[in-house]
Amino acid sequence: MPWIAVAGDADFAEVAERSRVPVLVDLGVTWCDPCRTVGPTLEQLATEHAGELKLVKVDVDTARRTAARFSVQSVPTLLVLAEGAVLARQSGAAPVACLRAWLDRALSGTGSESGAAQR
């Protein structure tokens, strides 16, 4: 699926920031239960927006520079990027309906960088 990718410190700029479509960035770790729980939800959202959104997964245990750059203090941390700029930020897992609404707000330009998905 070309709309789902994995990136690390070395290729984050190429994979995420230079994307021609907005990017949903999933900053997490493999051992985190909420990260594993939200993963299929994010893949579902990326599939729903195929061609107009790209999902990029980043393991913050191995991509420490990227995690520091975005001040990740808890996982999962989700970002919506457009042309490298953060449009919205969400910390923690949330139900699919909440994440869908958060993503739709971000993509429509009404998202908030520090806003969280409402539960």
Q: Which of 4, 5, 29, 32 is catalytic?
A: 32
Q: 3-state DSSP call for residue 27?
A: strand
Whether 32 sits among the annotated catalytic residues: the reply is yes
- Strand 85-91 with 77-82, pairing: antiparallel
Q: Is 98 a catalytic residue?
A: no
Catalytically annotated residue among 35, 63, 93, 103: 35
- The span from the first CA to the last CA of the chain, in angstroms, equals 29
Residues belonging to the active site: 32, 35
